[in-house]
Copies of this chain bind each other. A is one copy, B any other.
Amino acid sequence: MAKAVAPRGFARERVLEAALALFAEHGVNGTSLQMIADRLGVSKAAVYYQFHSKEEIVLAVIQPVFDDMARLVRIAEAMSTPEAQQEVAVNGMVDFTVRHRRVTAVFHGDPAIDTLVNSRADLSDIIERLTVMLLGTDPDVTTRIVISVLASGMYGSATDPKLSDIDDGDLHQVLLDCCQRLMRTRGAIGDLRTRGAIGI
């Protein structure tokens, strides 16, 4: 039985690999099952044997990212203080963003992926819980801006084609350092409130 399963697993990986390369070049909406089959030099039926729709392929590509994210959310939610929850969430995000750098490059900013994730309760639930870990339940203006800078800065740099020669270890180290510095911006909350109160 192991012998029968192995080639199928291998073929699945080859389809996912080809799909990821095509998604990166043409976006999800610009990629068809036929293009994936052509890239692999097989028939469309051979791709259908592994996956019954493009959506299934996309879900299989992003599943490992969401598995890591779900694990991270569970760890963060078990922390005893909101500060510790936030710290775990940020450090874990750096980790899976770098680990899934190639998938993130496809995943980030493609409206087709956003639509798919929003249509799936299990996936959007993970994102929502991660957002609560990052922002807390009643975030002030500074925290909302800092977390937005942090998330878009992290994803943007991990997917920056100009940084593709930089190895994962160096990227991981510098991103962690950037995030830790950004989190200290929360000190500005008081200043901002005071500034607002005196109407400058």
Q: Give the B-binding residues of A (Cβ under 8 A).
A: 109, 141-142, 144-146, 148-157, 160, 162-163, 166, 170-171, 173-175, 177-178, 181-182, 184-185, 188, 191-192, 195-196
Contacts and interface: CB of A to CB of B under 8 A. Distances in A.
A151 B156 contact: yes
Provide the main secondary structure of the chain A interface.
Answer: helix
A188 B171 CA distance: 12
Contacts of A191: 173
14 contacts: A109-B109, A141-B166, A142-B170, A148-B153, A148-B163, A151-B156, A152-B160, A155-B156, A173-B188, A174-B188, A178-B185, A181-B181, A181-B184, A181-B185
A185 B144 CA distance: 21
Given A173-B192, A185-B174, A152 B157 contact: yes
Nearest to A151: B156
A197 to B, nearest CB: 13
A199 B156 CA distance: 28
Nearest to A109: B109
Contacts of A151: 156
